[in-house]
Structure 1
Amino acid sequence: MDSGDDLRVVMVMLERDAESIVFTRSDGKEARFPLRFPVFEPSSMLSRIAYPPTFEGLFAQTSKGDSIVFELPRYDGASRLNGRLVVYLDQNKWRPVSDVLQGRDAGGQADRKAARRLVEWVEQGRIILPASAGHYYETTKWSDAEGRYRLGLAILQLSRGWQLRDPLQVRRDELRWMFKNGVRPGAVFPAAITLSPNVIHSAARGVVPPRPPADFPPEEAFRHEVLVSATALIDTMLDSVGGERGPESGWTGANQRFSDWLDDEGGDSQRKRKSVDVWLLRDLQQEVAEESYAAGWTTEQVKDWVSASQSVQELGNLPALGLFREMLHERHLNRGTTWKPNDVIDMVYLSCAAGYADFVVCERQMREPLARGIHRLGRRTQVFRSLAEAVAAISIALEAEADS
């Protein structure tokens, strides 16, 4: 038992039903204080949130009795990746993983076995399965409340707080990095797979996260931001009301018209690739203007860069934007391509994930152009269309890592 001098708070807990905040001491004693205002919305599925003052992780419990543990970032910015392999699953690849967690025998035997292996590796601390805003968008739109909850729960339990940063912000960061530093072999870009707060939806979408109280010291302000962000991620994914699909952005129709125009124009593939590059630069014109300005470039410098042939080659060397460019070429050069609303989500998120993850698993329609782009650019990310194929490759990588 701790002496009086050694007594310390070991856990802080918010309890919804008791409407209280509980401080647990190292000798097991508790101090309870009533919450001065409601913390949970009526539609929230959370019943309890807890974390130790050591800030090692966040524990959440749902009203159904399910538990979620999130890892939390360090104040000093040091990575908590600890050599784990990063495996990004496209939305439809989370279904068999969710079924395994629920004990269901849905799907094929090979996928069930592979899903179980992924779960084991996460629990053993050998891989990371990051969540993305794309997963949140797709999952929270389900009309089946129970299915939505179970799928969202699986993503939360296995991502453990790891996220793919907003791809639109990642692209901006890559552009600014390029304008500041150029792109050279071995260049190291800011991490896109992270535990950092408020990055799954970023300023690139106009999102302004709540700020900690102005009188908080820096480290406490950081912890406040982390706790609010992590709790909001869990609460949003599991909310009993779910979400609504946003309006069509017009991106699908614009790409369809451009693909149809390329089909009618004819010409060789090299000429068409140049046309696609012009299309891409026009699509990125606002980001290029703003990020080059932030990097200190003049208008004349940007004009010279855009008119130079190496501009698109430099874009091609960027981790996420380079792969997005390759996928855009593949889709537009394929005669008779039909563009669907989800294509923009798939291309943006998969190109970003493949730029920074070790493995990506996605459906065949996106796997083929992504894999060809990775091959052309000489990247190391491995892309698969089935969990079984991916798990076989991951197993080899883990064995090689253990032997090294």
Structure 2
Amino acid sequence: MALVTASLSDRRCTMKGMTATPFFSADRFQYWAIDFVRNEFEVVTVDGQRHTEALPPPTLRDNQVARSVFDWERWWVWNTTVRGDLFASEAYSPMNTDKGRPAVYLDQNHWSTLAWARVDPSKVKNQDELAAAQRIIALAADAGIVLPLSSAHLTETGPLYGDRRYQVGLMMASMSAGWQLRSPLKVWGNELAAMLAGYEHLPVPPSTKMPVVTLEPLAWSSGGPHAHEIDNDLELFQLVLTEPSVILSTLIDTTPLQRSEASAWVERNRQITELFAAEDLTEAERRRRTTGLFWCENIQELERAAAIVGVDASRFAQDADALVHQLKTMPYLSILSTLFQYRHLDRNARWKSGDFFDMLYLSCAAAYCDYVAAETYTGTQIQQILRQQGKRVNTFVSLTDLVAALDRDGVMTASERAARGDH
């Protein structure tokens, strides 16, 4: 691919200053394709010319993706697995970031229900949940809703293996169709940066305003590269072309991965819960101390956000009243900090490694998605927090309740909208 992209870069440079058709245009290309089986890259232009060359040696040890094709007319990426399954992902465009449909975030256990509903409905014993799963599949398949994936999904799919891993992963990749939930760690930093900028009456950094539900490649990652920061068209296009196959291959790789354990994180939070249980404090004192503790435990995040804004974090951190007030205005952190408060003040709380993903990702989804189907423990607490904050409760612990809310709000497939004459 290096020779192809180099020659394309040269051709693009010769066009600078001209008013001809933009180089990266459907008027020039039919498709770009990566064939992972043949290990080659192919470009086909609208006049039928073909250019093919070998790819570098593969880096994926068990790549289950056979072919990825960028469809210039539809602006989709088509992926075919080695088993012959085919599906499309919407491709990212920096010119259009509006999802246009309600975003529904599913916890991993609900994704498994969707997979069984499609592959073997007899595995779903609750008939109401089966019907709800099938309705969600229909909505996602026909432009009714968006089902974003997160890095938590990629991690939690890892321990599965064989056909189950393949079926669950394929369902997630096909139904999400390229949509992602931005890394909660990035959202955390963005909210802090916006909070600091507001406190100091400074402009909010543009990088903190990126959509949380997005088609942007690698948005799920807390690291880089960040597509919205890439100003090289060719480099950005390569990322857009390859991202769906990377996610798909990660999801359906049939080799199980060992689940990582957040043992230090679990132990630290267990100690905090035991500390509060042993202290003789009023309820108001307990709440105030847990709020302060949330910031002490995460002071590095505050310092990183301060560096983005260009202010002194220590001055802001000393103003406890302003900090607590500003915190309540942050969609994600207001939920997350309260969720930690609930757990730290519950002497019966039993911390486990899965809490890390449940708390960080479900809180972020509740703040920025239209609907959330969560696991019962965290979902119930988020419901309580949203009611306490006077916000619409968008979080549910069953697919049945989720679909009831979607029906209540008139969420329909594109075909259903067309039949009604809606535009």
TM-score, structure 2 as length reference: 0.83
Whole-Å separation in 2 of the counterparts to 1:30 and 1:55: 20
Q: Which amino acid aligns with 1:63?
A: V
CA-CA distance at 1:209 after TM superposition: 4.2
Greater Cα offset, 247-256 or 335-344:
247-256
1:272 aligns with 2:289: no
Corresponding position of 1:222: 236
* Residue equivalent to 2:18: none
Is the contact between residue 360 and residue 383 of structure 1 (CA under 8 Å) also seen in structure 2? yes
Distance 1:141 1:183, change over 3 A: farther
* Aligned residue in 1 for 2:179: 162
C-alpha distance in 2 between matches for 1:16 and 1:233:
15
Which residue is 1:285 aligned to? Answer: 299
| Deviation of the 1:141 alpha carbon | 1.8
Question: What residue in structure 2 maps to residue 18 of structure 1?
Answer: 38
Letter paired with 1:176: A
2:265 maps to 1:251:
yes
1:141 equivalent among 156, 159, 163: 159
Of residues 108, 122, 125 in structure 1, which corresponds to 2:140?
122
3-state SS of paired residue (2:189): helix
1:73·1:80 contact (CA, 8 Å) conserved in 2?
Answer: no
Q: In the alignment, which residue of structure 1 is the partner of 2:56?
A: 37
Q: Residue 379 of structure 1: which of 378, 383, 391 is its match?
A: 391
Aligned to 2:6: none
Runs of 5+ consecutive residues of structure 1 not aligned to the other structure: 1-5
2:215 aligned to which of 182, 195, 203: 195
- SS of the counterpart of 1:13? strand
Cα drift, residue 221 of structure 1: 2.2
CA distance in 1, matches of 2:68, 2:393: 36
Match of 2:312 in 1: 298
Match of 2:409, SS? helix
What are the superposed Cα offsets for residues 36-57 of structure 1, whole Å, 9 maximum, x if unpaired? 4234634100111101235711
Is the CA contact (8 Å cut-off) linking 1:358 and 1:380 kept in structure 2? no
Which structure 2 residues correspond to residues 96-135 of structure 1 after superposition, within 5 A? Answer: 96-107=113-124, 108-135=126-153
Going from structure 1 to structure 2, the CA distance change for 1:199 and 1:7 (only over 3 Å counts) comes to closer
Q: 1:7 to 1:163 in 2, by over 3 A?
A: closer
Structure 1 400/17 Cα, relative in aligned 2: closer, same or farther at 3 Å? closer
User: Judging changes above 3 Å, is the alpha-carbon distance between structure 1 residues 299 and 105 closer, same or farther for their aligned structure 2 residues?
Assistant: closer
Q: CA deviation at 1:385?
A: 0.9
Query: Which position in structure 2 is the counterpart of 1:350?
Result: 362
Change (3 A) 1:200 1:36: closer
RMSD of aligned alpha carbons? 2.8
CA distance in 1 between counterparts of 2:261 and 2:241 reads 31
Deviation at 1:17, TM superposition (A): 3.2
Relative to structure 1, is the Cα distance of residues 303 and 81 closer, same or farther in structure 2, using a 3 angstrom cutoff? Answer: closer
Matching residue within 76, 94, 103 for 1:57: 76
The answer to whether structure 1 residue 238 and structure 2 residue 257 are counterparts is: no
When residues 303 and 99 of structure 1 are mapped into structure 2, their CA distance, relative to the original with a 3 A threshold, is closer
Give, in whole Å, the separation in 1 of the partners of 2:231 and 2:253: 32
Deviates more, 1:30-39 or 1:54-63: 30-39
What is the identity, as a one-letter code, of the residue corresponding to 2:54?
L
1:91 corresponds to which of 103, 108, 113 = 108
Deviation per residue, 1:76-107 (Å, 9 max, x gap): 2x22412x111111111111101122143212
- Distance 1:210-1:85 versus aligned 2 partners, 3 A rule: closer
Rounded Cα–Cα distance in structure 2 between residues aligned with 1:247 and 1:171? 22
Quote the Cα distance in structure 2 between the aligned partners of 1:130 and 1:358: 11
SS at 1:14's partner residue?
strand
- Which of 333, 349, 352 in structure 2 is aligned with 1:321? 333
C-alpha distance in 2, partners of 1:190/1:19?
35
**Structure 1 partner of 2:93:** 74
Equivalent residues of 2:317, 2:323 under 8 A apart: no
CA offset digits 1:145-182 (Å, max 9, x no partner): 21111111111111111111111111001100111134
Q: 1:296 to 1:396 in 2, by over 3 A?
A: same
The alpha-carbon distance between structure 1 residues 36 and 253, as it changes in their structure 2 partners (threshold 3 A), is closer
CA 1:42 to 1:292, structure 2 compared with 1: closer, same or farther past 3 Å?
closer
Amino acid in the other structure paired with 1:224: Q
Question: 2:410 aligns to what SS in structure 1?
Answer: helix
Using a 3 Å threshold, how does the CA distance of structure 1 residues 378 and 32 change in structure 2: closer, same or farther?
same
What residue is the counterpart of 2:188 in the other structure?
A: 171
Contact 1:358–1:382 (Cα < 8 Å) also in 2: yes
Letter in 2 for 1:164: L
**CA offsets per residue over residues 5-25 of structure 1, 9 Å max, x none?**
x99531222223333333445
User: Separation in 1 of the partners of 2:403 and 2:226?
Assistant: 39
SS of the residue 1:85 aligns to: coil
Structure 2 unpaired stretches of 5+:
1-25
Summarize the Cα distance change of 1:289–1:16 in structure 2 as closer, same or farther, 3 Å threshold: closer
Distance across 2 between alignment mates of 1:236 and 1:227: 16
Task: State how far apart, in whole Å, the 1-side matches of 2:174 and 2:200 are.
Answer: 37
Q: Matched residue pairs, number?
A: 383
2-structure distance, mates of 1:159, 1:344 = 23
Aligned mates of 1:183, 1:384 — CA distance in 2: 37
Cα shift at 1:247: 4.4
